Amino acid sequence: MMLSRAIKFAPAARSLSTSVQNNMKVAVLGGAGGIGQPLSMLMKLSHPPAFVDEVAVYDIQHAKGVAADLSHIDTAAKVTGHDGEGELADALKGSNIVIIPAGVPRKPGMTRDDLFNTNASIVASLAEACAINCPEACIAVISNPVNSTVAIAAEALKKHGVYDPRRLFGVTTLDVVRARTFIAGKKGFDPKDVSVPVIGGHAGGTILPLLSRTEPATSFTDEERDALTHRIQNGGTEVVEAKAGAGSATLSMAWAGAQFAFALVRALNGEKNVVECTMVESDVTSCQYFSSQVELGVNGVERNLGLGDLSDYEKQKLEAEVIPELQKSIEKGQKWFHEQY
């Protein structure tokens, strides 16, 4: 029901694997960057049940050096390095998962949308390369503005006739990671015990933490709720300002990206009940792409768990702030793609 639009776009001619994956290969595009390096390292440090057999590090430059460095770590995963467009196909071939943190990050005073002009074409060209070299891979887009780049990647995949809405994800895990950390700090919980869905998009007011659904069950005063919501929505800006021009969140993002990638690995390996908040093509609101809790399976998205119960405060924010802005960003990405290609 919730995936009816998604199913409509699934290409009929492709044979989709329904069996569990072996020899898990993860490609990190932008692997020599601030996020890409620690993310590649976390892939190299993976272990069962989310073991990654091969990590392909790709960047326009310096990926071979990163790969050489990582390859000396005494874990079993194989690491390969690929520099420049001529080596992109080798990085992608045979990949089960492609993670894309390629592109420029924010500097103080910038919004994620200020990155659009540079990152839109980077994501479009990398998604096209995925369409050609690993059309059945799960693609996880980290590059900002995620609210637009997911739609751009979808259009690029559609152009090549290989778009499968079950296999394209916008990575919004860092918003969940921040929510768990900030709530734990406020309430004296261990962050690992905290569960809280964060829905919507990945920019300012489109990030909607559902504090009313926090587990362990707890209550917030209106002031606490407002302050926590604001801090979760602006966590990225907090880091950009603290780094004072030297980039945006890289280490926490690498951690979050790895958590998402490991969830995908476990699901592709056949583990059941793997649930993550992630931006996918969606019918749960009027936004074509929307982040909500999604159950992952051997083919990527197994089931969208939808919105669930929202408090009046959350309902109001969803309608007045999240949907209008996210919708605009999605349309901006789609319009851009069709003007360019």
Sites of contact with ligand NAI (CB under 6 A): 29-30, 32-36, 59-60, 101-106, 115, 119, 122, 126, 142-144, 146, 171, 174, 202, 247-250, 253
Q: Which is nearer to ligand NAI, 35 or 318 (CB)?
A: 35
| Bond from prior residue into 197 cis (ω within 30 degrees of 0) | no
**Does 261 appear as a known binding residue?**
no
Active-site residues, by number, are 202
Contact 25, 96 (CB under 8 A): yes
* Least distance in angstroms from the C-beta of 90 to ligand NAI: 14
Q: Which is nearer to ligand NAI, 150 or 323 (CB)?
A: 150
* Least distance in angstroms from the C-beta of 202 to ligand NAI: 5
Q: Which is nearer to ligand NAI, 35 or 162 (CB)?
A: 35
Is residue 279 classed as helix, strand or coil in its secondary structure? strand
**Does 31 appear as a known binding residue?**
yes
Q: Which is nearer to ligand NAI, 3 or 122 (CB)?
A: 122
In the 8-state DSSP scheme, what is residue 195?
B
**Does 253 appear as a known binding residue?**
yes
Is residue 331 classed as helix, strand or coil in its secondary structure? helix
**Does 144 appear as a known binding residue?**
yes
* DSSP strands (E only) in the chain: 25-29, 54-59, 78-83, 97-100, 138-141, 168-170, 198-200, 207-209, 274-281, 289-297, 300-304
* DSSP strands (E only) in 143-264: 168-170, 198-200, 207-209
CA separation, residue 198 to residues 229, 336, 340 (Å): 10, 27, 33
**Does 205 appear as a known binding residue?**
no
* Least distance in angstroms from the C-beta of 199 to ligand NAI: 14
Contact 80, 55 (CB under 8 A): yes
* Least distance in angstroms from the C-beta of 254 to ligand NAI: 8
Annotated binding site for NAD(+), which residues? 30-36, 59, 119, 142-144, 253
Annotated binding site for substrate, which residues? 106, 112, 144, 178
